[in-house]
Amino acid sequence: MNAQQHKRKPMVIANWKLNGGIDLICTSVASFIGKHFETQIAICPPYIYMRDMLTFLQHSEISIGSQNVSKFESGAYTGETSAQMLKQAGCKLCLIGHSERRAMFRENNQSCQIKVQTALNHGLLPVLCIGENLEERDANITKDVIFRQLSEGLENINLDGKDLCIAYEPVWAIGTGLAATPEMAQEVHQFIRRELAVLLGEATAERIRLLYGGSVTKTNAKELLAQTDIDGLLVGGASLDPGHFLAICQQVSEQAIAKGNQPGSAPQSAASVN
Ligand code: PEP
């Protein structure tokens, strides 16, 4: 563990996907309100619930994120929501290039690149999701896939001192109950950080938080977080159970203190969540 790692404030993001409703909002809000965590926490609900959640959670430490963002600024793009709208609504971050969007909605590295830059331009924290599918892992081309997703997804990105997050989510681990082992995940995270150093410079690569996602539960969260290059978690299924998600957040918070993040330390930067 190096000094830089201490400075990366851990982060946990809940991705509700096309799930949830008023009941889930109420129980989630009740679980989190009034609690303090040594980690940044964000929930990405369906768009329709964002405003309600922002209102309910305004005095909490929980931020709201979006599951997607338009690559367009405005105009005749039916069904889209722009980065500016999300920012104005109070959203802090957006997921970009989730594997479900890549597989079902024709997202590719090029559209992700535009979305990352658009999010940055409007003061949202982009969380670029990358990861190999089972075929690619079996063919031993995981690192090639990751390299391409990173180099194309971040091509000519102008960070201008702002934050960016990468979520490594092996497609075969998403929603399957088959999480990557901590060692497997660490190997890819380490590779990602090295590639980020080549693409964006060493100092930036050391600053960027890398999240692991794919069948995270309260049982495997701690072990994953203990890895040197895993700075947080992106949680799908388990985040739909507020008690379960709370337990994950508490573990990450405890681990943050154990890893050396001082209680009460300031958020990582102005563009960070919270
Ligand atoms: C996800 O879809 O981002 C995800 C991590 O899902 P799950 O935790 O259910 O595997």
> Strands 11-15 and 93-96: what pairing?
unpaired
* 38, 61, 98, 122: the active-site residue: 98
The answer to the question of residue 273 being in a domain is: no
Q: What is the pLDDT of residues 29-50, one digit of tens each?
A: 999 988 999 999 999 999 999 9
The answer to the question of residue 267 being in a domain is: no
User: Model confidence at 274, in pLDDT bands (50, 70, 90)?
Assistant: very low
Query: Domain span at residue 153?
Result: 3-260
> What is the whole-number distance in angstroms between the Cα of residue 3 and the centre of ligand 1?
30
pLDDT of residue 257: 83
> What is the whole-number distance in angstroms between the Cα of residue 224 and the centre of ligand 1?
15
Closest Cα to atom 3, ligand 1: which residue?
Answer: 236
CB 99 within 8 A of CB 131: yes
The answer to the question of residue 272 being in a domain is: no
The answer to the question of residue 94 being in a domain is: yes
189 a catalytic residue: no
> What is the whole-number distance in angstroms between the Cα of residue 189 and the centre of ligand 1?
17
Cβ within 8 Å of residue 113, ≥6 positions away:
152, 153, 154, 155, 156, 157
CA 6/CA 109 separation, integer angstroms: 31
Residue 273 has pLDDT above 50, yes or no: no
Q: What is the pLDDT of residues 161-216, one digit of tens each?
A: 999 999 999 999 999 999 999 999 999 999 999 999 999 999 999 999 999 999 99
Q: Is 130 helix (H, G, I), strand (E, B) or coil?
A: strand
What CATH number is given to the structural domain containing 116?
A: 3.20.20.70
The answer to the question of residue 99 being in a domain is: yes
Q: What is the pLDDT of residues 101-120, one digit of tens each?
A: 999 999 999 999 999 999 99
The answer to the question of residue 197 being in a domain is: yes
Cα angle 250, 99, 75 (rounded to 5 degrees) comes to: 105
Give the chain's largest Cα–Cα span.
50
Ramachandran category for residue 163: left, alpha or beta (phi over 0 → left; psi -120 to 50 → alpha): beta
Residue 4 has pLDDT above 60, yes or no: no
Structurally, the chain folds into a number of domains equal to 1
> What is the whole-number distance in angstroms between the Cα of residue 234 and the centre of ligand 1?
7
The answer to the question of residue 268 being in a domain is: no
Cα angle 164, 274, 244 (rounded to 5 degrees) comes to: 95
169 a catalytic residue: yes
> Which ligand 1 atom lies nearest to the CA of residue 167?
3
Q: What is the pLDDT of residues 202-239, one digit of tens each?
A: 999 999 999 999 999 999 999 999 999 999 999 999 99
pLDDT of residue 183: 98
Q: What is the pTM for the complete model shown?
A: 0.93
pLDDT of residue 229: 97
The answer to the question of residue 42 being in a domain is: yes
Residues with CB under 6 A from ligand 1: 15, 169, 174-175, 213-216, 234-238
Q: Is 93 helix (H, G, I), strand (E, B) or coil?
A: strand
